[in-house]
Amino acid sequence: MPSQFFSGQVHLLLKRCLTLIQRLNALQHLPTELEPHVSELNITLNRIKVAIENLLNDPDFASPLLLVNQFDAYKRLAELLNTFEWHPLGLLDHYNDRDLLFYRFSKLFCEQIQYPYQPPLLSAHSNEYFSSVPPTNLISVPLAEDTHLLALPDFVHELGHLIYHHIWKKLLAQFMPSLQKYINDQKLSTASQAAKSYEDKLQLLEQSWLQRYAIEFFCDVFASYVVGAAYGWSHLRLVLATQTDLYHPSFGDTATHPADEARMRIILLTLEQMGYEDAAVALRGRWDALTSILVAKADGEYHFCYPDALLERFCELVTKVCRELDLIPFFDQPTDEHNLPRLIQQAWDQFHANPATYAHWETTKVASLKSLLSTG
């Protein structure tokens, strides 16, 4: 009975894959500039189709003795198919003018920073702020961002997720010695204190750094490298709008992102390492003043989680990656009015200089930007 049920589900998965391929091929009115993405998606869906067919054609398919292994293969293929159905194909199936506008923005931005990979697809109707799905090369932005500029550094952060998808193994291999030394040193220094409890927390901390914190810190440093202090200001803006505890997760906690206090620290470190101490001082001053109104404070074990030495080492490694990829840093961007990294920096400069009149300035700049991007 389990074999029959499983066999039926695999056949239905193949039917679903064939349906998605047909749906993609039926999209005849997409902008021609999306052809590389459509072609790549078509290749990916056909590869999934072949993998499902290979599973079905296995002489031992649905054999009770091999059912567990085959179920694992089915599960991976189903998850992969869902990812491409829900994200790039779901976007292309109802593609609109805002999606195209942001795709052109992304493409031009990538050209101007010398992004080394294919520019991503952009969805202009995110339901969770800025987000990305690296395996599908897609970034989502909130609905109204086509009329604003100050949050665009968070698009750059998401672009960092796509880069990390390509380079993470090499980066973590370089970072591991520093992380492991720190963890081992802490194990020795806490040996006399509730040893088992501390050892478990340190093991969790190491896993958190490798599986969750590193990717977010990478994106923070990358965004700071590309658009400078504008990313730090955007992060401050986001924290004030959404966060009440700057120090979570602390020692022994788990979360998808590192603590915002530590994220701001690595942003400031990036600016300082790039020689922009004045920008870091200004950002730190405003950060300290505005976040002082929040109630939450660091607990007694918070200092274990994000030591300056680890943040400094990680920052050094990420900026090294940026240089090796020939990415153009924010301070080397030309003053051309059509330069998007410069525009993002200029927007925050203008906001600080004239906050009362900024909205009018932004509206004018957005209109000019849309005019620039209207013809691709």
Say if residues 319 and 274 touch (Cβ distance below 8 Å): yes
Evaluate if residue 9 carries a pLDDT over 90: yes
Average pLDDT across the chain, whole number: 94
Structure tokens at 259: 């603590």
What digits encode the pLDDT tens for the residues 144-203?
Answer: 999 999 999 999 999 999 999 999 999 999 999 999 999 999 988 776 655 677 888 999
Q: 235-243 long-range CB contacts below 8 Å, 24 or more apart?
A: 235/153, 235/260, 235/263, 235/264, 235/267, 236/264, 236/283, 236/286, 236/287, 236/290, 237/150, 237/151, 238/151, 238/154, 239/264, 239/291, 240/290, 240/291, 243/294
Is the backbone of residue 141 left (phi > 0), alpha (psi -120 to 50) or beta?
A: beta
Say if residues 361 and 149 touch (Cβ distance below 8 Å): no
pLDDT band at 258 (very low <50, low <70, confident <90, very high): very high
Structure tokens at 162: 């796509």
Higher-confidence position of 188 and 265:
265
Say if residues 145 and 369 touch (Cβ distance below 8 Å): no
What digits encode the pLDDT tens for the residues 54-100?
Answer: 999 988 887 887 888 889 999 999 999 999 999 999 999 999 999 99
Is the backbone of residue 299 left (phi > 0), alpha (psi -120 to 50) or beta?
A: beta
pLDDT in the model for residue 65? 77
Residue 329 exposed, middle or buried by CB count within 10 Å (0-12, 13-18, 19+): middle
